[in-house]
A and B are shown apart, each in its own frame.
Chain A
Amino acid sequence: NAGVMQNPRHLVRRRGQEARLRCSPMKGHSHVYWYRQLPEEGLKFMVYLQKENIIDESGMPKERFSAEFPKEGPSILRIQQVVRGDSAAYFCASSLPLRGGWVVNEQFFGPGTRLTVL
């Protein structure tokens, strides 16, 4: 059973360009999360999605960032008009849906995409 896959693993963009980061969840997982890790800092939650729905985007910057998880295909984190401060590692995680009210849905993380903005 393949784990969470992210691509590309490394992405270099110039200021003002667009960055698209892709995440394929584990088989059977319908919940996807995106986290960002700035250099020398901890991971910060960005957004939580289920198929075709954004459930919680409380950690997303208000401008230039968007995320989707279409019915078919991977989840996409899109950053428009990148700036140097967007340079970071972006991690995707996936989980099974909750069963009843129990928190049994541990999240499984992908290897991350390292974005460098020149």
Chain B
Amino acid sequence: DAKTTQPPSMDCAEGRAANLPCNHSTISGNEYVYWYRQIHSQGPQYIIHGLKNNETNEMASLIITEDRKSSTLILPHATLRDTAVYYCIVRVQGAQKLVFGQGTRLTINP
């Protein structure tokens, strides 16, 4: 699976949009971009995934650049409960295991 690079930490004000970047410059054509988050001491939670089109669900939006070498996870109206470590994972089609990096520790401030 391709390696991803994320900033180690970010801060965001409550109510504002949180934009979390991820670089995956070595991604190949059959690799998907997945996002999970881990709220303190809990199990990771699936957020969203995409291949090349932008995706949106009830939790977040995923914007993937045209060359697919980077992506941004957007939490449109961050709340204090969104404070967590966010993991960007690139995963080949059909692969089973998830390879977690260090992620981005997002802190939402009141």
Contacts and interface: CB of A to CB of B under 8 A. Distances in A.
The answer on A and B forming one complex is: yes
Contact of A111 (B43, B91, B94, B103): B43
A106 B101 CA distance: 17
A47 to B, nearest CB: 9
Given A98-B94, A102-B93, A44 B100 contact: yes
Contact of A56 (B49, B91, B97, B103): B97
B80 interface: no
Interface in A5-26: none
Contacts, number: 60
Contacts of B34: 106
A106 B96 contact: no
Nearest to A55: B96
A103 B43 contact: no
Nearest to B51: A103
A91 interface: yes
Q: Interface range on chain A: under 10, 10 to 19, 20 to 34, or 35 or more?
A: 20 to 34
Given A103-B32, A106-B34, A107-B98, A43 B44 contact: yes
Contact of B96 (A31, A44, A108): A31
Contacts of A77: none
Contacts of B9: none
Contacts of A35: 98, 100
A11 B13 CA distance: 38
Interface string A67-110: 00000000000000000000001010100001001110111111
The 7 lowest CB-CB distance pairs between A and B, nearest first, are A109-B43, A45-B97, A43-B100, A106-B46, A42-B100, A109-B44, A103-B93
Interface of B: 32, 34, 38, 41-46, 49, 87, 91-103
